[in-house]
Amino acid sequence: MPVRILNQQQVTALLPMAECVDLMGKTLETLSAGGAILPLRTMLRLPDNRGIFGSMPSYLNPPDAIGLKAITVIPGNEGTKYDSHQGVVLLFEAKHGSLEAILDASSITAIRTAAVSGVATRVLARPDAGDLAILGSGVQAQTHLDAVAVARQLRRVRVWSRSRANAEAFRTQAAGRSPCPIEVCETAEAAVRGADVVCAVTAARTPIIERRWLSDGVHLNLVGSSQPTTREADSDTMAAARVYCDRRESLLAESGDFLIPKSEGRFGDDHLVGELGDVLLGKVPGRRSVSDITVFKSLGLAIEDLASAHLVTRRAEAQGIGTVLEIGGLRH
């Protein structure tokens, strides 16, 4: 069977951010409409908390496809030549179960994660939002700048990182893509004060965002933490916010941002307003007023990888891009 292999540069070229934002919106609608099979990811934790190895299978219809992402997440890679997320996405067609493509997972993860935050910003942020704060300076900081710029017209961009050098490197790398100059801030507080969109894309284990710093009407995309014991926002922020997620089951199993304040008695499961797909389908309300604080808690879903891989593979086939190998799969 012919299997197409697509590397990081090829995936990036075939998955522009604006189109991925639209694709992720449709994918989350399909999930909320019942068109996906999506078990919780399996996580193998490495010794000494060095990182994790994750396995994420899924089925999505449309496009009637099966996928599996196998990925390592090594936070210590930040600032080195290695991505913090590395692995592959395997794309199978669902009729016969044949493997169609093997795609670089780092690029898919970087683009689709930010694209989902772009969807959340599009439907939850105030229409006039344009003051962006980015906490973190890695790959996700770069792609989140692109995604929020798709969702809103930016007039100010601030970045904070625990490493000033990394924040300065981010400013240099992103200068050509930002619609306005990027300001490097000394503290997270300085970055988020007055912002109306905040993207937290860090490896923080304890809160780096405090409610007292936030303006009424702000929208937050909390992306960095996907473990029940870690979080980026404090309990006061979560208790004050209208909280949305990509998937309810994932939030209640994996999100320390939600589970830790819940364990403190600050709120119950009903504090979750709904899934982003439900907002898109009109099943639950989004922002109600200009003063609402809204939080989108991103956990990252295998169907997002699957939908991205399917689109990229179809485009690669049409354009003759990638390396095609013959492997097993046919009976002789």
How much is the average pLDDT of 110-136?
Answer: 98
Task: Dig out the tokens for 208 from the structure.
Answer: 């780096």
**CA–CA separation, 275 and 48 (whole Å):** 34
pLDDT of 291 over the 60 cut: yes
Residue 102 has pLDDT above 60, yes or no: yes
CATH architecture of 113-297: 3-Layer(aba) Sandwich (3.40)
Domains of the chain, residue spans: 2-109+302-326, 113-297
Amino acid at 164: R
Report CA torsion sign: 129, 132, 138, 142.
positive
Residue range 135-146, pLDDT digits in tens:
999 999 999 999
- C-alpha 69/C-alpha 56 separation (Å) is 5
34: left (phi over 0), alpha (psi -120 to 50) or beta: left
Which residue shows structure tokens 């200068």? 175
Residue 97 has pLDDT above 80, yes or no: yes
Burial class (CB in 10 A: 0-12, 13-18, 19+), 60: buried
- Residue position matching structure tokens 């891009």: 321
DSSP-assigned letter for residue 48:
G
Query: What is the tens place of the pLDDT at every residue in 221-248?
Result: 999 998 999 999 999 999 999 999 999 9
pLDDT at 254 over 60: yes
Is the pLDDT reported for residue 319 higher than 90? yes
pLDDT tens-digit series, residues 50-85:
999 999 999 999 999 999 999 998 988 877 888 888
pLDDT at 83: 81
> What local confidence, expressed as pLDDT, does residue 198 receive?
98
Q: Which CATH class is domain 2-109+302-326?
A: alpha beta
pLDDT at residue number 329: 60
Q: By percentage, how much of the chain surpasses pLDDT 70?
A: 98
Q: Give the type of residue at 128.
A: D
- What CA–CA distance (Å, rounded) separates 192 from 133? 6
Mean pLDDT in the chain? 96
Q: Does pLDDT of 331 surpass 70?
A: no
Q: Is the pLDDT reported for residue 328 higher than 90?
A: no
What single DSSP character describes residue 332? -
Contact 46, 54 (CB under 8 A): no
